[in-house]
Structure 1
């Protein structure tokens, strides 16, 4: 009797891609929205108009005081990175936040716990990390740790939400891979950090805060329990 050989990497990758729209439709729609927004600001709008749009959606202190809701929600509709300059650190950041964070781990979160919880984790991490970072900036400005122009610095994108699901995604890995993955999630933002004495730049603080929020979810029983849907599927298969 001939034993069937396991599928190769290319066939497994094609199988994953075919199943992706069914397993994570909301993540796929969000990814398309992010790519459309990136193309719109990068290739349709003029440079000045694109800067004005992104400046309005930036989650800096001035915008959070003036129009907090549109800044918090609007900033999550764009990603701050490049898809073409493959030798830059910006491209590496895009691979981590958009590639691993959104494409992989947000999709995994949606498939494992459903759309509602995936949105809550991603958007909650984005908003909470932004607001906590704003509080740190306020205190740092009061003590002269940051320059005054940080109040209206350009700060937008999906990286805080992505960082939250990257940390939560530790559950998706085998036990022996979880500690190295956690170290990576915490270490990569520090790679390009700029320091003001003992304090890193505010985006680094935001990424570390978002990671801490994601790791904190690992202790929540609702996330540690196996989803009911997965349990039912396993029972049906057996």
Structure 2
């Protein structure tokens, strides 16, 4: 029941719907040093280079961008250097859409798969899309279909890596969110192909998106939660529980243990003269169990299976020598010994 004021107006604020945008939920989507260290550190580097691109010396900025470009000429001279250096810049600076997508998409992927896998997807999309667009240019120049100036052009940015992470993230979401993300991503790729302002980038974005989608099988069920569950596994008990149909009362049938050793029920006499039977191939455990049964049999069944009480002399044939009594009798007959044993 809602509280109302004297005028009849409700004092309780209406509840927000499940899809309402809350500031706390938006803040949790941002990268943090402890939750998403890869995205957080990478975002700081991109923020610094973006600020320098917008407010630094123009001549120096242009020189750095030319040296970081992944054009065909630089790929032939120093491929590893330019592939890494080109991913340190955001095409468009601080106001680029891909800068915002990097913060939201890459951090969401890292929370689900970890920093190492997220970095691998980002780098894989960046490298494959770059090679898939620049190597055909080099081949066309070598064949004489493009001018030599096509080997030297500006090609840098994080858009290929962001597209690959978008495709990978879609495979980890629910059905509705999955197709929504993929629909928006393919819409952006289609817009680039329609405008065709930069042919290489326009074809590189769908290639990077398909690269991220190809990683779905490698990312599912292999995140930090699965690894922690595997580390926290507890080994089973050393002694197996009883199987169905096994009894524990006196006269119960034999109980079969895992390991190949047949165990007698309580009160059951050992078969075949006191030797326990082995079921299956128990290996070393079966040999150890046989030795234990043999020692137990020898202790519990001396003198042909008849054991007397402690302190009572065993029944032996013939006369039983005793110490000479005061009346001079030297020994007693078997009947006396039997009578003595009968009175125990």
Residue by residue over 1:3-34, the C-alpha shift from the partner in whole angstroms, topping out at 9 and shown as x without a partner, is x9679633433651687343212201111110
Q: Distance in 2 between matches of 1:211 and 1:113?
A: 18
Larger CA Rg, structure 1 vs 2: 2
Task: State whether residues 29 and 108 of structure 2, in contact with CA within 8 Å, keep that contact through their aligned partners in structure 1.
Answer: no
Distance change in 2, residues 1:182/1:147 (3 Å) = farther
Task: State whether residues 31 and 40 of structure 2, in contact with CA within 8 Å, keep that contact through their aligned partners in structure 1.
Answer: no
The aligned runs of 1:16-27 (5 Å cut-off) are: 16=28, 20-27=32-39
Q: Distance in 1 between matches of 2:199 and 2:27?
A: 41
Distance change in 2, residues 1:11/1:41 (3 Å) = closer
Q: Distance in 1 between matches of 2:184 and 2:61?
A: 33
Task: State whether residues 137 and 202 of structure 1, in contact with CA within 8 Å, keep that contact through their aligned partners in structure 2.
Answer: no
Gaps of 5+ in 2: 3-12, 233-344
Q: Distance in 2 between matches of 1:129 and 1:155?
A: 12
C-alpha RMSD of the superposition: 3.2
Distance change in 2, residues 1:9/1:183 (3 Å) = closer
1:57 aligns with 2:68: yes
**Larger relative helix fraction:** 1
The aligned runs of 1:154-173 (5 Å cut-off) are: 154-173=154-173
TM-score calculated relative to the size of structure 1: 0.77
Q: Higher relative CO (CA 8 A, sep ≥ 6), structure 1 or 2? A: 1
Q: Distance in 2 between matches of 1:128 and 1:175?
A: 27
Task: State whether residues 31 and 39 of structure 2, in contact with CA within 8 Å, keep that contact through their aligned partners in structure 1.
Answer: no
Q: Distance in 1 between matches of 2:163 and 2:85?
A: 18
Task: State whether residues 167 and 215 of structure 1, in contact with CA within 8 Å, keep that contact through their aligned partners in structure 2.
Answer: yes
Q: How many pairs are equivalent?
A: 217
Q: Distance in 1 between matches of 2:213 and 2:146?
A: 28
Shift of 1:172: 4.2
Shift of 1:143: 6.3
